[in-house]
Amino acid sequence: MAIEVFNRREIKYMLTDEDKNALLSTIGNYMDSDPFNKDGKTYSICNLYLDTESDELIRKSLEKPIFKEKIRLRSYGSVALTDKVFLESKKKFEQVVNKRRTTFILGDVYKYFEDGTITENPKMNKQVMKEIDYIMNFYKLKPKVFISYDRLAFFEKNNSDFRLTIDSNIQTRRTDLRLDSPVYGEQLLKEGQWLMEAKAFKAFPLWFVRFLSSRHIFNSSFSKYGTEYKKHLQEI
């Protein structure tokens, strides 16, 4: 079952091909691969990020406030109108992220975006949906950006608190804002770049800290949506 509510720190790092390969050569000693990574292959994640007509949420986020929030619709792999997707709120206070999500049927969530109608389903978390609906109406949010990527994910052995994700092939677009459309868009990263996120509520394990130090890898403020927005401003 997908985790619907959790808190954690999320720290991002930009990796080169060499960094990524060095990590993968040793990670098996400490972490297990996510079940979605069948045979060591990446799995696809697609998102619709919601914002105001004037892009208020991402503009505020780029100012690096102590508190920020966003709403997105997420699917894993290709989906049809009858498939389940996840409507998520993500709030960040300093470095701690609170993520809350509920299950929707894709066709129903499109109707919700159009006229505010909430069609319940047996797997919907009604409390989370109530919170998301408040944010949606307060800001008058609508889909603004499609962002997809291919992911490798790992959980530390005997410690599900620590998780690593490594993303590549990040594609973005501001048209055809549907999750049931084909995956396509402009590349956000340069060739040979990988975005890694370390996620935990407690301290990162010593082996990981030593790996970062040995490779001279430092944390990055890179944001997928933020980078896309800055690129968009340069093009208009």
Per-residue pLDDT tens digits for 66-76:
999 999 999 99
- Please report where in the chains the tokens 């508190």 appear, as a residue: 67
pLDDT at residue 159 above 80? no
Distance (Å) of CA 120 to CA 80, 100, 105, 137: 18, 17, 9, 18
Q: Any residues with CB less than 8 A from the CB of 219 and at least 6 apart, and which?
A: 11, 12, 13
Per DSSP (E only), the strands in 106-210 are: 142-156, 159-173, 186-187, 193-200
14-58: pLDDT as tens digits:
999 999 999 999 999 999 999 999 888 999 999 999 999 999 999
pLDDT at 161: 85
pTM: 0.93
Query: What's the rounded Cα separation, in Å, for the pair 28 and 4?
Result: 27
Measured from the Cβ of residue 232, the count of other Cβ atoms closer than 10 Å reads 16
**Residues 180, 80: Cα–Cα separation, whole Å:** 5
What average pLDDT does the chain have? 94
| Residue 22, token pair as written in the block | 């060095």
CB 92 within 8 A of CB 61: no
The pLDDT score that the predictor gives to residue 4 is 59
Pairing, β 31-33 against β 43-51 = unpaired
183 or 95: which carries more pLDDT confidence? 183
201 vs 119, higher pLDDT: 119
Q: What is the pLDDT of residue 7?
A: 75
pLDDT class of 1 with cuts at 50, 70, 90 = very low
Instruction: List, for residues 12-24, the tens digit of each pLDDT value.
Output: 999 999 999 999 9
